[in-house]
A and B are shown apart, each in its own frame.
Chain A
Amino acid sequence: MIAVLQALADGLMIGGVYGVIAVGLSLVFGVLGIVNFAQAEFMMLGMYVAWFAWRYLGLDPLVGAALSFVAVFCLGALVQRLLIQRIMKAPPVAQIFLTVGLLIVLENSALLLFGPEFRTVKTAYQTRALMIGPIFVSVSYLSAFVAAVIVSGGLWLVLTRTWIGRAIRATAQNPMAATLFGVDTRWIYAVAFGLGTGLSALGGGIVLSYSSVSPTSGSQYVVLMFTVVVLGGLGSVMGALVGGVIVGMIQSLSTLVMPIQLQNLALFTIFIALLAFRPQGLLGSPSR
């Protein structure tokens, strides 16, 4: 019983971070209608930004994650204006080619610039844990979870309470009508792509606080990201956050019955089952 509670608590905390990583992918699809296969590579770049901020500026990765957001937001917005904008109305095949190409370029650029080694950060709280009742709570998981909750709340506020947020939602739902009322949708597409990739990068910075980064970190997270987003319904921001928590819990519960090395087996099984039986996601509606 305690083992189950422990697994649920771990799953909740890790899952909250998964939500932040995946919400960017969902946002990009919801607003631009593009499946960004390079999304996890933007996360990897965010992890490197946070690592360099820790190494050379002495910033905690949870603080450095803010820098990851800003840097990758700018990069993402630029990539949208220069590359993605050209294939906005192109057939899906062209869109897949471009974003997969971007994935390869980003991964190999990272290899060239940063080398193949795994890099980790050291923080004072990394090995600490709290006892809450019978449950062990790792301080780095807990602080990562708190950061994820703050980011999700901030995103919700921006999307519902600001003019730019309303314009983003309006553009996602009906770009023609948004244009009629003064929204420059080309600008919104750049902002939304920057915001989406920036959020994944921010999530990457948070992940770095208890994990490591290498040029192939993206491929470690890409299936997880897509599972979360498909679970929550592609394009749904709320769905991605909830989906993240569910995936975190499934992963963590699976370690109770399977060796920890097989935790991705549970993930893949669920991903395939979802695609087979409920491709619109648990929260998504069939149309989108």
Chain B
Amino acid sequence: MLRMRDLSGGYGPRPVISRISLDIAEGETVALLGANTAGKTTLIRAIVGTLPSVSGVIAFEGRDIVQLPAHRRVALGIACVPEGRHVFGQMSVRDNLMMGAYHRRTEDLGSDLADCFALFPRVRERQAQAAGTLSGGEQQMVAICRALMAGPRLLVLDEPSHGLAPLMVAEVHGAIRKVNARGIGVLLVEQNVSSALKVVDRGYVLESGAIALSGTSRDLQDNDTVRRTYLGI
């Protein structure tokens, strides 16, 4: 579904990520792991189109999207839960969800809303509240629901568990499994390597802007370097 070849890019002349090749198959869940400053968020920004300078190939369902402006990628089926959530703070939760479906511009969103509420019943209760007044975990739920309202084929989540209580992390990761069960592909960026590897099929480990390691989650869990560096075993 997503094919990346020799992708380099950054915020200025100096690349932050270099020569990255990565694949996500239809309906697969893939983790992108690595320490802070490894280039995980930069890679995500290249996929969603908000990285200032990029070269290489990103093909989504066979179409090269590297030069496609960010606001036109969501209609192809790429939706993003950005790092730090970025909900529209002064808008109601319901308006936040509707903004997720902006590229479709239809008022007929009943079944999409119902799917979101089935995933996170708490979001239904908070519909009329301004999103900025919610707790961090609830805002994360809104951010995930907003992305689902776009009707994606690929859901990209950048550190969805960052700063959340352990119970909330489990709820978010549970939701990711349910989303994937609907046939939506997932790219999950996490610093929390051990719990991320329980959610995904495969993973890539990023180090100083390049892919250092990749494999199935079982392979990565058993890999000595991963165990020492990220799992602390």
Binding site for B on A (CB under 8 A): 163, 166-167, 169-170, 173-174, 176-185
Contacts and interface: CB of A to CB of B under 8 A. Distances in A.
A177 B82 contact: yes
B148 to A, nearest CB: 12
Contacts of B103: 181-182
A173 B79 CA distance: 19
B102 A174 contact: no
Contacts, number: 66
Interface in B81-137: 82, 86-91, 95, 98-100, 102-103, 105
A164 to B, nearest CB: 9
Interface stretch (B1-9, B70-78, B192-200, B224-232): B70-78
Given A170-B88, A181-B100, 16 more contacts: A166-B91, A169-B88, A169-B90, A169-B91, A169-B95, A174-B89, A177-B86, A177-B88, A179-B70, A180-B50, A180-B74, A180-B79, A180-B80, A180-B82, A180-B86, A182-B103
A182 B91 contact: no
Nearest to B101: A181
A41 B78 CA distance: 44
B48 interface: yes
A166 B89 contact: no
Interface residues of B, number: 26
A134 B214 CA distance: 84
Interface of B: 48, 50, 69-72, 74-75, 79-80, 82, 86-91, 95, 98-100, 102-103, 105, 146, 150
**Per DSSP, are chain A's interface residues mostly helix, strand or loop, or mixed?**
helix
Contacts of A166: 91, 95, 98-99, 102
Contacts of B74: 180-182
B55 to A, nearest CB: 21
The 5 closest A-B pairs by CB, nearest first: A182-B103, A177-B86, A182-B74, A173-B88, A184-B71
A184 B105 CA distance: 14
Contacts of A185: 71
A167 B102 contact: yes
17 contacts: A169-B90, A169-B91, A169-B95, A173-B91, A176-B50, A177-B82, A177-B86, A178-B99, A180-B70, A180-B80, A180-B86, A181-B99, A181-B103, A181-B150, A182-B103, A183-B102, A185-B71
